[in-house]
Amino acid sequence: MVDIAEETDAKELPPCIVRKSDGAALYATSDLATIIEREKEYHPDRYIYVVDKRQELHFTQVFRVAKKAGIVAQEKPMQFLGFGTMNGKDGKPFKTREGGVMRLENLIAGISDAVYDRIVENREVGEAEARQTAEIVGLAALKYGDLSNQASKDYIFDVDRFTSFTGNTGPYILYTIVRIKSILAKYAAKEERLPDGQPIRGAEGGSEKALELALTKFNETIDAAFAELAPHKICQYIYELSDMFNQFYRDNIILGETDKEKQASWISLITLTRQVLETCIQILGFEAPDWM
């Protein structure tokens, strides 16, 4: 048994048992052994443990032991990022219809099937192509649905909401990116090129200015998400950015604009919007399809 409480601590912790009197190992033993192996193999600059929030005391103890035993340098950050539970509509932990714990592969398959049904409802498309797109959109719906919530909070898992093409969902973000891609492809086909280095003019007001201002928040959003270990901040940002773009799209006929300089500026503006959105979803771990 190792007593990890320090006299200078404002909050003392109970001792951490790493081996019982009969020699049996505990969870703390294997967690410390894993840290030893990681130090040996990877020499990490910092540790971030993303685990059920109910395990916070356990890992706080393990981190203290790792540093007091000299396994990890005192100055190296070791952070615990506790997450809440994914619950069904009844507010209880999400399970299968049979009452068992939902396997990830079945969860992904169920989401993909739901997206596939929405795709074939809206347009005629080949089976293979629809399935491939449904897999991309379904994975985005699942990841975005999970990451858009503050990690430590429990949340309701609602397939219908997660796969919706409107509102604060992964499919809505992807639909916005696909819409921008379509506009740029049509513009390039008409003009036989995209404007190269065309500056974005300063908008006087309205949705154009709102979109430009939203784009300027990219750097601070990414910095804050990293510093606070809060991917939900990126989700909130790209949802707001998507809303700003779609309002701009509704207010302006981009491809029908007769002022070529203004049109080229708009094309540069939405190109930057697409780049920011794609960078953010790449950070979140998913991609956009070519059509939806």
pLDDT of res. 5: 44
Task: For residue 39, tell me if it sits in a domain.
Answer: yes
pLDDT of res. 105: 86
- The answer on 248 and 164 residing in a single domain is yes
What is the radius of gyration, based on Cα positions, of the chain?
24
Nearest Cα residue to 173 out of 286, 269, 272, 255: 286
Look at the chain and report how many structural domains it folds into. Answer: 2
- 290/292 Cα distance (integer angstroms): 7
Task: For residue 95, tell me if it sits in a domain.
Answer: no
For the chain, which ranges sit under pLDDT 50?
A: 3-10
Tokens read off for 232: 């939900």
Contact 87, 157 (CB under 8 A): yes
Q: In the chain, count of helices (H) and strands (E)? A: 10, 4
Task: For residue 116, tell me if it sits in a domain.
Answer: yes
Alpha-helical segments (H) within 148-259: 159-162, 170-191, 206-215, 218-227, 232-251
Question: Which residues lie closer than 8 Å to 12 by C-beta, 6 or more apart?
Answer: 5, 6
> Backbone phi, then psi, for 28, in 5-degree steps?
-60, -35
- The answer on 112 and 23 residing in a single domain is no
Query: pTM of the prediction?
Result: 0.82
- The answer on 72 and 144 residing in a single domain is no
Which residues pair with residue 156 across a beta bridge?
A: 87
- 142/140 Cα distance (integer angstroms): 5
- 126/124 Cα distance (integer angstroms): 7
Which residues pair with residue 50 across a beta bridge?
A: 81
**Tens of pLDDT along 61-81?**
999 999 999 999 999 999 999
Full residue range of the structural domain in which residue 18 is found: 1-83
